Structure 1
Amino acid sequence: MAPESVSFRISRNAEDLAYTVHALSQRLVKLEQRLEALELQLDRQVERDPQEISSLDNVERLLLDCRALLEMAEPPEDVSYATAA
């Protein structure tokens, strides 16, 4: 093989590798941008509407009040009913 053909093949392979690395880099940049956009979208979904938070707080307070009332209630006495046999 002539040195020129080997040199051409090496150059061609290096050029192909450079093109592939560039294409992969571009894909990586697009994926990073997409990931960032998805993270922002997720963060926005996590942020709740203040009115919704207030409603949920009210529901939580009502549940706590109900639990407190249930705990304060005395258990019913054991009442035995006599049945006529």
Structure 2
Amino acid sequence: MKSWMKVMQDIAWLTQLGISVTAPPLLCAGAAWWLSARAGLPMWVMLPALVLGFGGSGASVWGFYRYIQRKASRKKAPPAFNRHL
């Protein structure tokens, strides 16, 4: 069984990843909606805003994936008996 600290760390990472994935599209869509309402921009501005938002989400997921890969590669392999230094 995992220790409680490891479980809480995993929950924190999962929560942070979820926020990092959902926030950019919502913020970009909100900004596009606000600009179209206040500045009179057409509603097609929402499409590029969503593309930018989903791009930001993809970058967050990619960064998280790279972090997990680096973390997995740092784990030391057990020492071999025939290895001489």
Which TM class, normalised by the smaller chain length? 0.3 to 0.5
Q: Which has the higher contact order (CA 8 A, sep 6+)?
A: 2
TM-score, normalised via structure 1 length: 0.43
